[in-house]
């Protein structure tokens, strides 16, 4: 009888421990390095990444529509382009329309931003001509007040670098297709993509998704519980602190 009681007690303790695990695990923070290429930023790498590819291998560089990048003189102004209020947490999110890891993260990420945080989404075209087309389309749609909707639509399937494809999408969204295609060719559109590519290069971002949560650079997909845990430990980026 005593052995049965001891067995039941051990079982109860183990069961209680298993029930506590979901509450304990989100409190754990992974190893964060301090060796970012950009001084003042710390780095967390998850390994859940869609790495950069060379989308132009084997193509004639004189005829291929290759993206350009420029290194920003004011990194924070580029990173947090759509935010800028120092009283709120500043977040930058780098994504690619053809990135499977991004799609997985975006099942929860759009609804995870709290009122005390501002987010700037960067379309970082690292996965081929379709990614570049998508980045241009989102930038153009943003000028027409439909940037977020265009991004969400393009992230549902692999993007084709084809004007007819974009016309069909624009029509389905109620967006003027000709205006969209015209704005995709504007210098302002290319400048936005060039700034995003330059900021990513300066931070050493090798693929998508990537997050900049204040001073912390997160390379790779994370889950929602970890995102909120990192946001709870938010520290302003070094450029906001005046250290760069």
Strand-pairing partners, residue 45, are: 219
**Please, which pLDDT band fits residue 197 given cuts at 50, 70 and 90?**
very high
Cis check: omega of the bond before 244, within 30 degrees of 0? no
DSSP annotation string for 58-99: TS-TTTS--------SSHHHHHTTT---TTSEEEEEEE-TT-
Report the sign of the C-alpha dihedral through residues 238, 205, 154, 67, in that order: positive
Instruction: Give the strand pairing for 117-123 and 42-45.
Output: unpaired
Domains of the chain from N-terminus onward: 2-241 (3.40.30.10)
The residue among 55 and 164 whose pLDDT is bigger is 164
pLDDT over threshold 70, residue 24: no
CB 198 within 8 A of CB 91: no
pLDDT of 164-195, one tens digit each? 889 999 999 999 999 999 999 999 999 999 99
CA 191 to chain centre: 19
Residues counted in the chain = 244
**What pTM was computed for the model?**
0.82
Structural Rg of the chain based on CA atoms: 22
**Please, which pLDDT band fits residue 162 given cuts at 50, 70 and 90?**
confident
The residue among 29 and 133 whose pLDDT is bigger is 133
Rounded (5°) CA angle 96-152-99: 25
pLDDT of 112-160, one tens digit each? 877 789 999 999 999 989 999 999 999 999 999 999 999 999 998 777 7
How far apart CA 112 and CA 123 sit, in angstroms, is: 19
pLDDT over threshold 70, residue 7: no
């Amino acid at each position: 009888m005593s052995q049965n009681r001891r067995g039941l007690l051990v079982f109860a303790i183990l069961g209680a421990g298993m029930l506590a695990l979901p509450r304990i695990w989100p409190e754990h923070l992974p190893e964060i390095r301090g060796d970012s290429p950009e001084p003042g930023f710390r780095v967390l790498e998850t390994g859940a990444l869609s790495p950069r590819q060379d989308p132009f291998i084997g193509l004639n560089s004189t005829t291929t529509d290759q993206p350009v990048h420029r290194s920003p003189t004011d990194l924070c102004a580029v990173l947090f382009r759509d935010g800028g209020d120092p009283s709120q947490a500043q977040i930058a999110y780098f994504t690619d329309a053809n990135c499977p890891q991004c799609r997985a993260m975006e099942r929860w990420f759009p609804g995870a931003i709290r009122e005390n945080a501002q987010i700037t989404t960067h379309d970082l075209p690292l996965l081929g001509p379709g990614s570049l087309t998508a980045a241009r389309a989102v930038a153009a749609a943003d000028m027409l007040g439909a940037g977020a909707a265009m991004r969400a639509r393009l992230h549902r399937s692999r993007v084709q670098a084809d004007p007819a494809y974009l016309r069909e999408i624009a029509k389905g969204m109620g967006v003027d297709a000709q205006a969209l295609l015209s704005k995709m060719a504007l210098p302002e559109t290319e400048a936005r993509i060039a700034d995003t590519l330059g900021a990513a290069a300066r931070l050493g971002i090798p693929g998508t998704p990537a997050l900049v949560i204040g001073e912390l650079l997160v390379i790779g997909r994370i889950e929602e519980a970890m995102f909120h845990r990192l946001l709870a430990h938010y520290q302003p980026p070094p450029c906001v602190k005046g250290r760069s």
